[in-house]
A and B are shown apart, each in its own frame.
Chain A
Amino acid sequence: MLLKYLTHPSLVFFVLPWIMALLVAGTVVQPAMGIYQAQKFFFEGFVFWLGPVPLPGMFSLLVLLATSLSAKILFTSTFSWPHSGTWLIHAGALLLLVGGLVTSLTQQEGSMLLAPEETKNIFDDYYDKELVINKNGDDVVRIAFARAAAMKGDDFRALVPFDMSVTKACHNCDVVQDQNNTVRLVARPHEKDAEKNLAGVQLRVQGRDMLVVQGMPAHVSAYQHGDDIYHVSIHRKKHALPFSIRLLSFSPSFHPGTHVAREYASVIEVADGALTWQTAIRMNEPLRYKGYTVYQASFVEGDGPSSSVLTIVKNEGRVLPYVATGVMLIGFVLHLWMRRRGRA
């Protein structure tokens, strides 16, 4: 019974209007809200809060559709030649949804700024941030910012040998000074450009207040405990690559006599253990290695030669959309062909 309802095509008929409504709303608000916020609010939740009213969010609807499709493919539609087309189209759609799920669960996405001749094997996450406690020059504690923001005194006890707790945290902060000359943290609305958000925490360390905001020089938040000096800072989360990249040269080339870029290219040397080789990364021609894909994203002009900005993505589900596209294309062609034959 449940299976019948779950696999009936009318489920699609009832679910899609709500998805389309979310899609339209989430698109229309983008200029005002910024793409990242709009995406979080309209496209990424299991529950969509319309004011105080909880409604099904995009994730719930997509999971419902995926479940329906899986049930249909596994249990109700038997594969037969005349219906092979529709079967493949639905299988392709399911693959797309699964691909989306895998991507949202596993994707790491960040950027790496490379000056000429510089070598790096770590990159900064675009969105995720972390709180780092440094002891005498060594990073001894790294905690995801979202978790650190909720940490109480007890949680820190195992990490540092003194009393420390978070009294306030915000994803985008301002530091303001009041009349008594005490500085405190004030939360600001999210920036339209998510990368411009400056996360911060207000800490209570051994009875003293300490402010830490992203991008602040480390010495501002120094604390001496015995002979040890501790620094607390907030950074974009760092990911390690299983290989390193050295920038040999970066060259934007322009259409003659204009400032319109025709192509950006970074010539790099990749080193993996004893193995090194040279390659070039261009617009539309990324480097793929060990599950990571390295793209030419942008560049930073300086006094000397320009530095290159690379985007680095690791996504276990990367192949699925490619397969899904092929499967669906074949499905459509078969389906239309079968319809023609059926009519003839």
Chain B
Amino acid sequence: MIHWLILLWCLVALPSIAETDAQRETQKIQPHDIHLMADMAVMHEGRIKPMESVARATFRKVAGRSAPDDISALEWFVAAAFTPSVAMTQEVIAMGSAPLKAWLGFADDKRKNFSFLETASALDARLPVLQKMMDKPAADQSSLEKEIIGLYAAVQDYSHLLTSLTLMLPDRFTLSPALQTQLGLEKKDSYTYLEIYRHADFFMNALKKIRAKKNNVALYTAQEMNIAQISYALSGMTATGDGNTFLRVVPTGAEWSSLWQLVNDGKGAPHYRALMEQWKKLAWLYYHHHPQQWRETLANLKRETGKLSPQPLNTLALEVFYHHANLYAWAAALYGVVFALILLPLPANTSANKPARIPFHQYIFAAAVVCHALSIVLRMIILGRPPVSSLYESLLFVSLVLAVITFVVGRQRALYMAAGSLFCAFLLLISPVYAPAGDSMGVLVAVLNTRFWLATHVVCITVGYAVAFLAGILAHLHLWKKETVLPELLRSMALSALLFTSVGTMLGGIWADQSWGRFWGWDPKENGALLIVLWLIWLLHGRMTNMLQPRAFAAFLACTNIMVAVAWLGVNLLGTGLHSYGFTNAAGVGFVAFCVAEMIIITFLFFRSRHHAS
């Protein structure tokens, strides 16, 4: 547990940037200078990421949203590290539920966001209770307790960010000329922690002697007061820096180290020291407004870091591009445009079998598919693994497969394109719900850490989901207007869906046999996949034996969408079994809403088609 109060005190004592003369305003470090830090390498949660990714993930964790209103996440991140005394009073920490606020004593406060200062003080006063909550096994924690622990983790990360560079921020310590001479320091107005921390023992001993002589602070001379303050500040900062591994920017091996670790663990090799000096210089330039030199130093720092890194750093810029381009949003928007273009100008009674009047939408659809595919390819390059390893990624991938098949099979048919684009847009739009902590592109737990099975089983089963969805969508269209989709096509689609889902499920069994020692274990995710397979087998046999008339077959095939939703997303809500990697709480409501809506729509379509038939 961090002693927040020590930390707060250390931060308060830091200076803010000197606002001297007006002419300097033009020479200040501008946002575009800050953004040069975007592709700076940081080891974060097991992977080397550009600072852009770390900033986004941290802001999401602290503030519960993707970016601040007025500045970018990166600007917020850099400002927090370089000017913590300013950042600590800014109201960014998201204070979720009313019970949480009440627990922290903010019951009557209407604000949604609180400053670090307020939150940390409130948490500090409740540390013993908090500790008890954290000692409980996760299964026994109430939802409020989970929220409190989540807040604590976020505030802890934030505190580590705030103190990540304090050891080299300038203007921290002012020493009297006598002390400067006594310690043999270069004559300066002020010093950083780094410049004087080696003399910590001197200050401690001096303070001890003073205390032995005088037991009342009021009697201290100016010199003695100076010594006392420096002594407290040094030990306080050392305590907050101890264990601060947040901003790992120094490649000291596969693990990388934070700047505090370099000092505390005594990793003083000359090349690390050189990097440290560059960071110190960067901090000084930030405080004293030298944009030109800031840019040069930063470029130099990145180059030197790259030279020392044991891992290649060649995808950092790509990852920054990935964040900025936000290709999924573009793809979702373009799918939406396609849908609008097709449906809006055309009334429902236009024959959809005719080639579309506006072939223009095909280009837009193609552009959407390109954006969509490109972003998945970028992910694969950045992460160096096959496209699907989490629920969130499966949504991105399934919608791409859906889009590609729609384009290949149905680009001549406006109605297919409309349905396909609507569904793709829908899947892309709901995907963030399944990445509640943001898309941090995390590392994989051991059992998933296998490219072969991710590439075979997972891809096969997700393609199966996509084809099953497509079969379901076509069945909707068939019910809506019989002649748009021939029954033969419905059967082919159901059969193809069965191929991918059954083979995918069996490959999953083989993977399970390889890693857990059993082919089949009746785990919820396995049962879900089996449910789709059995459902499709049932449908096909029902149709074959005429037990299901064509219209009933179409209606049940349309229900395949619900089955897929159950197998793919629904079983994760059960939160049990070996497969439950995608923990989702808020997603439950959306899932139930989808199923209910589908049932209503299908029932409506079924009776409507019966009416038309008679």
Q: Enumerate chain A interface residues (CB-CB to B < 8 A).
A: 8-10, 12-13, 16-17, 19-20, 23-24, 26-28, 30-31, 35, 38-39, 43, 96, 99-100, 103, 107, 109, 254-258, 260-264, 283-286, 293, 295, 297, 311-313, 315, 318, 321-322, 324-325, 328-329, 332-333, 335-336, 339, 343
Contact B517 A293 (CB under 8 A): yes
- Closest Cβ–Cβ distance, residue B395 to chain A (whole Å): 22
- Closest Cβ–Cβ distance, residue A316 to chain B (whole Å): 13
Contact A295 B516 (CB under 8 A): yes
Contact B515 A284 (CB under 8 A): yes
Q: Which residue of A lies closest to B548 (CB)?
A: A13
Instruction: Given A19-B534, A27-B524, A261-B445, verify A256-B46 contact (CB < 8 Å).
Output: yes
- Interface residue tally of chain B, by bracket? 35 or more
Instruction: Given A30-B574, A96-B506, verify A39-B522 contact (CB < 8 Å).
Output: yes
A12 touches which one: B255, B443, B510, B537 (CB < 8 A)? B537
Contact A325 B506 (CB under 8 A): yes
Contact B499 A283 (CB under 8 A): no
Contact with A along B453-472 (1 / 0, CB 8 A): 10000000000000000000
Contacts of A13 in B (CB 8 A): 538, 541-542, 545, 547
**In the assembly, what is the distance between CA of A100 and CA of B530, in Å?**
14
- Closest Cβ–Cβ distance, residue B442 to chain A (whole Å): 8
A257 touches which one: B248, B503, B511, B545 (CB < 8 A)? B248
**In the assembly, what is the distance between CA of A213 and CA of B140, in Å?**
28
- Closest Cβ–Cβ distance, residue A128 to chain B (whole Å): 16
Contacts of B575 in A (CB 8 A): 31
Contact B256 A257 (CB under 8 A): yes
6 contacts across the A-B interface (CB closer than 8 A):
A24-B527, A30-B574, A260-B442, A283-B450, A284-B511, A325-B507
Instruction: Given A16-B537, A23-B530, A264-B446, verify A313-B577 contact (CB < 8 Å).
Output: no
- Closest Cβ–Cβ distance, residue B338 to chain A (whole Å): 29
Asked if B571 lies at the interface with its beta carbon under 8 angstroms from chain A, I say: yes
**In the assembly, what is the distance between CA of A12 and CA of B533, in Å?**
13
Contacts of A295 in B (CB 8 A): 515-517
Contact A255 B492 (CB under 8 A): no
Which residues of B (31-73) have their CB < 8 Å from a CB of A? Answer: 43-47
Contact B510 A255 (CB under 8 A): no
- Closest Cβ–Cβ distance, residue A336 to chain B (whole Å): 6
Asked if B576 lies at the interface with its beta carbon under 8 angstroms from chain A, I say: yes
- Top 9 closest pairs, chain A to chain B, by CB: A255-B46, A332-B499, A313-B517, A325-B506, A255-B443, A16-B538, A258-B46, A12-B541, A10-B545
- Closest Cβ–Cβ distance, residue A326 to chain B (whole Å): 9
Asked if B336 lies at the interface with its beta carbon under 8 angstroms from chain A, I say: no
Contacts of A324 in B (CB 8 A): 506
Instruction: Given A9-B545, A255-B46, A257-B46, verify A109-B527 contact (CB < 8 Å).
Output: no
Contact A284 B514 (CB under 8 A): yes
Contacts of A254 in B (CB 8 A): 46
Contact B499 A8 (CB under 8 A): no
**In the assembly, what is the distance between CA of A329 and CA of B499, in Å?**
7
- Closest Cβ–Cβ distance, residue B389 to chain A (whole Å): 13
Which residues of B (61-87) have their CB < 8 Å from a CB of A? Answer: none
Contact with A along B500-536 (1 / 0, CB 8 A): 0011001101110111111111111001101100110
- Closest Cβ–Cβ distance, residue B182 to chain A (whole Å): 40
**In the assembly, what is the distance between CA of A179 and CA of B230, in Å?**
68
- Closest Cβ–Cβ distance, residue A229 to chain B (whole Å): 39
Contact with A along B408-422 (1 / 0, CB 8 A): 000000000000000
Q: Which residue of A lies closest to B311 (CB)?
A: A256
**In the assembly, what is the distance between CA of A30 and CA of B576, in Å?**
7
Which residues of B (540-582) have their CB < 8 Å from a CB of A? Answer: 541-542, 544-545, 547, 571, 574-577
**In the assembly, what is the distance between CA of A136 and CA of B542, in Å?**
67
**In the assembly, what is the distance between CA of A146 and CA of B496, in Å?**
47
Asked if B121 lies at the interface with its beta carbon under 8 angstroms from chain A, I say: no
- Closest Cβ–Cβ distance, residue B174 to chain A (whole Å): 36
A35 touches which one: B449, B503, B523, B545 (CB < 8 A)? B523
B43, B510, B513 interface centre (most CB from chain A within 10 Å):
B513
Contact A262 B443 (CB under 8 A): yes
Contacts of B47 in A (CB 8 A): 255-256
